Amino acid sequence: MNNLQNTYEWGHSSQLVRHNVLRNTYWLLALSMIPTVLGAALGVMMHIPMPRGFMGAILFLGVAYGFIWGIEKNKTSGVGVALLLGFTFFMGLMLTPLLTRTLGFSNGGQLIMMAFGGTAAVFGVMATVATVSKRDFSGMGKWLFAGALVLLAASLLNIFFQMPALYIVISVLAIGIFSAFILYDVQQIINGGETNYISATLALYLDVYNIFSNLLALLGLGGDRD
Of 58 and 50, the structure prediction assigns the larger pLDDT to 58
* Nearest Cα residue to 121 out of 182, 169, 39, 34: 182
**In which band, very low, low, confident or very high, does the pLDDT at 36 lie, cut at 50, 70 and 90?**
very high
Provide the angle, in degrees to the nearest 10, between the axes of the packed helices 2-46 and 78-93. 40
Would you say 158 and 170 are in contact if contact means Cβ atoms under 8 Å apart?
A: yes
C-alpha of 201 from chain center:
9
CA dist 94 and 40 (Å) reads 7
Predicted local confidence at residue 106, as pLDDT? 87
Alpha helices for 133-196 (secondary structure H): 141-161, 164-190
pLDDT at 2 over 60: no
Predicted local confidence at residue 73, as pLDDT? 96
pLDDT at 39 over 60: yes
pLDDT at 173 over 70: yes
